[in-house]
Structure 1
Amino acid sequence: MTRYLGLLAELLRESWRRYPFPTAAGLAAVVLATATTPALALALRHAVDGIVTADERAAAVGALAAAGIFALDRYLRDAGEVYEKVLADQLGAVHLRGRIERTLAGLDRLDHLERTDLLDRVTALQGAGWRIGHAPWQAVHAVAGAVQLGLLLFLLGSQVDPWLVLLVGFAAVPLWFDQYGQRAVSRATMDTAEAFRLQRHLFNLATGPDGGKEIRVAGAGAEIARRQRAAWDEAIRGRYRARLRAAAWRLTGWTVFTAGFGAGLGLVVHRAANGQGTLGDVVLAMTVAVTLRDALQATLFGVQVTMEGRAGGEPLLWLRDYARRAARDRGAGQPPATLRDGLTISGVSFTYPGTGRPALDRVSFRVPAGSVVAVVGEYGSGKTTLVKLLAKFYAPDHGRILVDGQDLAGLDTGAWRARCSAAFQDFGRFHVRFGDAVGIGDLPHREDQDQLQEAVRAADADGLVAGLPDGFGTQLGRRFDGVELSEGQWQKTALARASMRREPLLFVLDEPTASLDAPSEHVIFERYLARARDLAARTGAVTVIISHRFSTVTGADRILVLDQGRLVEEGTHRELLDAGGRYAAAYAIQATAYAHDV
């Protein structure tokens, strides 16, 4: 709770820094409105006592003061509400959402995004921006309401009967009970986050284009809808029960308060009936009674919204702490300007979370600077895992990866990634302008037309650009009324994106032609082998090619053969053929199959 309140104070400071005048105006309106209700009660008592004693001047002054105070109160509340809504929306929808997105984007490794505890927090934060943005202002209202409650009770105690001050204890009961109930709601939000995440995934699966063909052919739409509904019911059921418990606690608190306050009003009426008070005291007490109820209700609402914001505030604090811990693993060293020695993989093992078999098992080899190394093997042999470790998407469980003798774990992740280029088999399909889809491969030069053209030529995508209606300015993706590319065209776009950086130290091609026909594959590999030699001469870059088609890797300087996470063979194409082992057998099978197809 202390850290959450600190977060609310931090958000108020952020609002003040970004929007000083509206924030100051909103706070001033809340502070001034706090005193209007006690002042209104005193003005009404003055007017009533003036009427009773036939003091026309006192009655008129009291009535005019009451009217002015009431008008001021309405103005302050309406103006404050406008400022608060604008500021809360800006803070929640713009600032907080941007902070969450930057935090997630700043997590360097992929394993962070595969942790269920992190995904649960992200799920809880989705749609919570409004609640978190409004929570600081509702906390201000809760504090102001509590101060107003204190003023009203002090007014009753000092002006009517000191015993009425004891009502402050009854006023605190609903606040405490409500907080207890909101803690249960917050726990339920986290407990049901996974079910919410599952139902959202199933909904997107049933309504999106991905997998749409398989779902319709299989007739699985109704089953997916049933499972989505079941996941939704499970999530809602948990949160509904928690809200029922919170409502029960709130009702109990209000019952205690009503009983205590009813007894206090009875005391005031009894005193007036016995000549121990004036009619003005009764009017003051009744006015305070009505406004005290409203003030308490406003305070409870402020506490409730503030505590509802806690359901988003706690995951936000957790995510921020997690990102700080993750940042310690980024390293601080700088990669060399040019590779001299190359890469050394020493006893590297890695197992994905939740799996029992290592994806890589004690793998060791060396890649000299300027080399082209190919990694081949069956699906699931660990090829893609290897390049993910080289790109620092994951950290090895055991062993080390050295870059010119420096441990990769000690290099600054951002600096190392800035010297890497990669095209992955699960490439991105970015629904932006074609020029941007290529240019983000090297953001500082994404508008450089010469560099864009060079990258497109490297990917043999000149014909693709020529066929687009607006060339590099063509919007991609039907969702945004753009051009939909074929699978092969998307892959060529990804290859062009990977070719944007002119001086990488590591160049990765992970199944770069899986969606292309044989002629295109041949042209692209010829171009990329030439590019690899050019990079080697300029920066000593290492090029890593992953392919399940052995015919495409014969020109590599070194070929590594992986099987079930282990390095079982390595050598040149000729050396491996002469050895007559796994590579030679697989190469012969693929060559025979290709000849038969031809």
Structure 2
Amino acid sequence: MKRYLRFWLELLWLSWKRYPGQTSALIVCKLLSVVLVAITALALRDVVNAVIDHDPRTAVVAGLVAALAYCAMAHLEGLDTVIIFVLVERIGLLELQPQIDHDIAAIEGLDHLERAEFLDRVTVVRGAAWGLVFGMWVAVDSVFNMSRLAVLLVVLGAVNPWLLVLLLFAAAPLWFEQRAQRMVNAAETETAESFRLQRHLFNLATEAATSKEIRTAGAGPECARRQAEAWQDVAKVQLRARIRGARWQLAGWLLFTAAFGAGLAAVANGAVSGAGTVGDVVLAITVLINLRLAVQMTVHRTAETAGAGRLIDPYLWLRDYVAAESARRKGSQPAPDTLRDGIELDHVSFTYPGTTRPALDDVSVRLAAGSVVAVVGEYGSGKTTLVKLLMKFYQPDSGTILVDGIDLQDLDANGWRSHASVIFQDFGRFQTTFGETVGLGDLEHIDDVERIEQAVRWADAQDLVRRLPDGLDTQLGRSLGGVDLSEGQWQKAALARASMRRRPVLFALDEPTASLDPPSEHAIFKRYMTRARSLAEEAGAIVIVVSHRFSSVAGADQILVMDKGRISERGTHDELVAAGGRYAEMYGIHARAYAIA
């Protein structure tokens, strides 16, 4: 609860700092509402007593006060609601949501995206900024509702001090409600993985990229069945938690209702016996009814406040995780503009989270500055993992990666990546304009048409751009009303994106032409080999080519053959062919396959 309080105070301070007038007006509205409840009750008592005492002037004045107080309360409640929603949308959608997105994107690695505990929290927090800010105002409202309870009890105590005992019974629904809400919150976190599964199955059957195979295989009914099972798992756990919680809520309200009835009976008995006035009875009834409403509203708001925990706990967990990752991984040394020695991997091993087999196992190799390095091997041999570690997406479990003698972990991640260009085999398909999807490769120059056109030429994508209806301004993605590209066209767009940076010191091409036809592949590799030599002269750049097509790697200065996470062979093309090992065998199979084709 202390963490919740600190978080709510942060949000309240942010609201006041950004919108001081509206925030102050909202607090004043809530304060006046508390006072007006007591004024209304006291004025109604005076009306009744004045009528019995035949004092019309006092009755009229008291009646006017009661009417004005009631009207003011009604107006303030409406104004309160309007201001809250304005502030929640402004702070939640314009302040907190961008901060959540920034925090998640600020994590420099990728391993968190493969951890269930992280994904569970993201599932809950995604789009939750509105609820987080609304939860803060609900908490504020709970404080004022409790203040209203206190004021009502003070007024009630003036009629009969024993009625103050109701305060204890008013706490019962609050305590039981919080217990019930904790059960519901725990159930939501427990079912987050099943919730993600059912959403994944829904996407499989409804997205164009996967629905073709689903329909061809006739697997739609099976996807629907499994999605229903996942939903049932979610509903079963959450329903069980809500039923248990409802029992606790019922117990709390039964206690308060019994005390409420006893209090009314005591006041009525006092009036009959002459210990009080009829006005006291009216006052007591008015206060008790308002007390019941105040308790009900307090319980409701307290439940919402406790319910906000289902968002706050994951949000604070994510925030702590981001802070811990930033402290653990943050390098401060600037990345080199030019490589002089190169990159050295010294006994590097790495295993992906949730697996047991090393993706890289005791890898040691030197990548000389100004060299073209080819990495070949079967699928799952560790080729892409090597590139990911060089991009600082993961930290080695053991061993070090040195860049010109400096540990890669000591380099600023953003600075290092700004000196690198890479295309991965699972490249992104960004549904923006074609020019922007290329320009994203160097965000500072996303509007530089000349640089974008040069990158398009490097990727041999000029004909593709000419065929697009609006050229570089063509919107991509049918879901956004644009055009869709073939797999090979998307890959050319990704190649162009990787070519945006003019002077990278690390240029990695991970299966860059897997979706292209042989003529396009040959033309592109010829261009990139020329560019690689130019980058080597300018910046001592290392160009890494990961490919299963051996004709593409024959001209590399060094070829690394990977097998089960280890480097089994290394050397030039001629050296490896002459050695007659695994590389020579795979090259022969590849050459014969192309000859037959």
TM range (shorter): over 0.9
Q: What amino acid sits opposite 1:326 in the alignment?
A: E
Indicate the residue corresponding to 2:406 in structure 1. Answer: 406
Larger deviation, residues 228-237 vs 242-251: 242-251
Q: What amino acid sits opposite 1:51 in the alignment?
A: V
Whether the aligned pair in 2 keeps the contact of 1:491 and 1:512 (CA below 8 Å) is yes
SS in 2 for 1:362: strand
Indicate the residue corresponding to 2:239 in structure 1. Answer: 240
Indicate the residue corresponding to 2:555 in structure 1. Answer: 555
- In the TM superposition, residue 354 of structure 1 has moved relative to its aligned partner by 2.1
Whether the aligned pair in 2 keeps the contact of 1:340 and 1:404 (CA below 8 Å) is yes
2:16 and 2:449 map into 1 onto residues whose CA distance is 43
Give a deviation string over 1:359-408, Cα, whole Å, max 9, x none.
Answer: 11111110111111000111111100100100011111111110000000
* Unaligned 5+ runs, structure 2: none
Indicate the residue corresponding to 1:212 in structure 2. Answer: 211
Whether the aligned pair in 2 keeps the contact of 1:92 and 1:132 (CA below 8 Å) is yes
SS in 1 for 2:399: strand
Indicate the residue corresponding to 1:366 in structure 2. Answer: 366
Indicate the residue corresponding to 1:326 in structure 2. Answer: 325
Indicate the residue corresponding to 1:479 in structure 2. Answer: 479
Give a deviation string over 1:463-507, Cα, whole Å, max 9, x none.
Answer: 111111111110001111111111111000000000001111110
Indicate the residue corresponding to 2:289 in structure 1. Answer: 290
2:460 and 2:13 map into 1 onto residues whose CA distance is 53
SS in 1 for 2:375: strand
Give a deviation string over 1:186-209, Cα, whole Å, max 9, x none.
Answer: 111111111101111111111111
Alignment of 1:454-473 (within 5 A): 454-473=454-473
Indicate the residue corresponding to 1:224 in structure 2. Answer: 223
Give a deviation string over 1:512-569, Cα, whole Å, max 9, x none.
Answer: 0000011100110011111111111111111100000111011111111111111011
SS in 1 for 2:308: helix
Q: What amino acid sits opposite 1:365 in the alignment?
A: V
Whether the aligned pair in 2 keeps the contact of 1:419 and 1:504 (CA below 8 Å) is yes
Indicate the residue corresponding to 2:10 in structure 1. Answer: 10
Alignment of 1:269-280 (within 5 A): 269-280=268-279
Larger deviation, residues 220-229 vs 84-93: 84-93
1:244 and 1:96 map into 2 onto residues whose CA distance is 33
Indicate the residue corresponding to 1:61 in structure 2. Answer: 61
1:174 and 1:486 map into 2 onto residues whose CA distance is 61
Calculate percent identity across the aligned residue pairs: 54
Alignment of 1:29-48 (within 5 A): 29-48=29-48
2:424 and 2:336 map into 1 onto residues whose CA distance is 24
Indicate the residue corresponding to 1:394 in structure 2. Answer: 394
- In the TM superposition, residue 126 of structure 1 has moved relative to its aligned partner by 3.0
- In the TM superposition, residue 130 of structure 1 has moved relative to its aligned partner by 3.5
- In the TM superposition, residue 330 of structure 1 has moved relative to its aligned partner by 2.3
TM-score (norm 2): 0.98
Q: What amino acid sits opposite 2:266 in the alignment?
A: L
2:345 and 2:366 map into 1 onto residues whose CA distance is 6
Give a deviation string over 1:204-227, Cα, whole Å, max 9, x none.
Answer: 111111221211111100000000
Larger deviation, residues 577-586 vs 517-526: 577-586
2:312 and 2:49 map into 1 onto residues whose CA distance is 50
SS in 2 for 1:210: helix
- In the TM superposition, residue 25 of structure 1 has moved relative to its aligned partner by 1.5
* Unaligned 5+ runs, structure 1: none
- In the TM superposition, residue 91 of structure 1 has moved relative to its aligned partner by 2.9
TM-score (norm 1): 0.98
1:575 and 1:97 map into 2 onto residues whose CA distance is 56
Larger deviation, residues 576-585 vs 283-292: 576-585
- In the TM superposition, residue 127 of structure 1 has moved relative to its aligned partner by 4.6
Larger deviation, residues 65-74 vs 98-107: 98-107
2:26 and 2:534 map into 1 onto residues whose CA distance is 62
Q: What amino acid sits opposite 1:98 in the alignment?
A: P
Whether the aligned pair in 2 keeps the contact of 1:131 and 1:308 (CA below 8 Å) is no
Give a deviation string over 1:22-41, Cα, whole Å, max 9, x none.
Answer: 22221211111111111100
Larger deviation, residues 243-252 vs 308-317: 243-252
Does 2:296 align with 1:307?
A: no
Larger deviation, residues 39-48 vs 14-23: 14-23
2:558 and 2:489 map into 1 onto residues whose CA distance is 30
Q: What amino acid sits opposite 2:149 in the alignment?
A: L
Alignment of 1:121-520 (within 5 A): 121-158=121-158, 160-328=159-327, 329-520=329-520
Whether the aligned pair in 1 keeps the contact of 2:431 and 2:475 (CA below 8 Å) is yes
2:586 and 2:274 map into 1 onto residues whose CA distance is 108
Larger deviation, residues 14-23 vs 333-342: 14-23
